Amino acid sequence: MGTLKNATSTPIQIEFRDVTKTYGPVAVIKNMSLSIRSGEFLTLLGPSGSGKTTALMLLAGFVVPTSGDILVSGKSVADVPSHRRDQGMLFQSYALFPHLTVRRNLEFPLETRGINAAERARRVDRMLQRVHLQDFDNRMPSQLSGGQQQRVALARALVADPPILLLDEPLGALDRNLREHMQHEIKSLHREFGKTTICVTHDQEEALTLSDRIVVMRGGQIEQVDSPELLYDRPATRFVANFLGEANFIDKAGFEVEVDAAPPSGTLPMIRPERVAIMEIGAIPNSDDLRQVISGTVQDVIYAGPLRRYVVRVAESTFVVREHVVSGQPIFRPHDKVQLHWLRSDVRFVAA
Ligand SMILES: Nc1ncnc2c1ncn2[C@@H]1O[C@H](COP(=O)(O)OP(=O)(O)OP(=O)(O)O)[C@@H](O)[C@H]1O
Ligand SMILES: [Mg+2]
């Protein structure tokens, strides 16, 4: 998000040190080590059951590590109960107090911090305006839509102005439009207040849009941590390449992949669909760079607004090609013979 200016000089605020959490014989978090900088927007991304909520609950103090330690501002929080950790939390199920009005829900974290009634009212009013719910303060949660409840939950996490914000699927229950609106809202709140934010999602687009860094989780372990750009452009593993965006694995495509240098052992060549271009048989790529050209047959073409997506059969495998629709471009149909081409330097090698 570009809010982390001078990232290397920003102090580390949160540290997971070799944290493991087991339930009976099953380790749901395995040897997790991670440093989070002050003001950073970090997203935990991964499939269902990969340990995202557990990692957040460990930090919030609702789950206790089996081994390892968590430090906040350099100090272990092992002996700090969750209500004494200065963090705002939005739970996955948004867990509003069902017997309290919207206003009373928002007052709760302020009361536990000993803030007086007049100041509470002032802060609640300001926060409700911020999430566009100023006219809903006397409603009960059951009288709100899912999206409205989610906005109340976000407001409640923010209202006490905690230095650390933990958000578990904050936009999960929202439809597409409201989701985009709230993404924007969360982003601008982060830009404005610069809170260290740890957000959980399984939505890759959301992770790419919001985060300074993304932690990809898999089976209780960190698979890769990087900026959105690097994760997408330089995925370390096949899992990451598949989880974030679409990937063409070209190892079994029935042709020799041309490379500039010998690939590291145990890796697979991969190319993103938007890096592959499609053209008529016999055409020559309009470029002097080293490009690989192969031929195939169009199997399918799908229009998606400004994008056109081809599936092209090449020997034993299929390629996905994604191109931006521009005027004057040839359009291919199923069964057309075509050529695909790409820059050699756009091929990535990921761990199998
Ligand atoms: N209290 C518990 N007892 C036993 N197993 C648990 C407990 N809480 C979580 N687990 C298991 O730990 C694993 C990780 O759960 P977690 O809730 O952290 O996943 P998640 O990544 O948040 O998934 P989702 O995207 O579905 O919310 C799951 O296999 C889950 O069944
Ligand atoms: Mg979860």
Tokens of 294: 């192969």
Domain ranges of the chain: 7-243, 248-351
Tens digit of pLDDT for each residue in 291-318?
899 999 999 999 888 899 999 999 888 9
Instruction: Give me ligand 2 centre to Cα 90, in Å.
Output: 12
Q: Output the average pLDDT for the chain.
A: 90
Instruction: Give me ligand 1 centre to Cα 147, in Å.
Output: 24
In words, the CATH class of domain 7-243 is: alpha beta
Tens digit of pLDDT for each residue in 199-254?
998 888 889 989 999 999 999 999 999 999 999 999 999 999 999 989 999 876 67
Tens digit of pLDDT for each residue in 96-119?
899 999 999 999 999 988 999 999
Nearest ligand to the CA of 168 is: 2
- Residue 41: Cβ-neighbour burial (10 angstroms; 0-12, 13-18, 19+): buried
The residues, ordered by sequence, that sit 6+ positions from 7 with a Cβ below 8 Å of its Cβ are 37, 212
Instruction: Give me ligand 1 centre to Cα 83, in Å.
Output: 22
Q: Given this chain, do its domains 7-243 and 248-351 carry the same CATH topology?
A: no
Return residues with CB closer than 5 A to ligand 2 (ion): 53, 92
> Is the separation of the CB atoms in 285 and 317 below 8 Å?
no
* Ligand 1 touching residue 37 (CB < 6 A): no
* Ligand 1 touching residue 330 (CB < 6 A): no
In words, the CATH class of domain 248-351 is: mainly beta
Top mutation candidate among 23, 32, 166, 200 for ligand 1, by most atoms within 8 Å of CB: 23
Helix (H, G, I), strand (E, B) or coil at 220: coil
* Ligand 1 touching residue 23 (CB < 6 A): yes
* Ligand 1 touching residue 211 (CB < 6 A): no
Residues of 301-322 as b/e, b for ≥16 C-beta within 10 angstroms? Answer: beeeeeebbbbbebeebbbbbb
60: pLDDT strictly greater than 90: yes
Instruction: Give me ligand 1 centre to Cα 27, in Å.
Output: 10
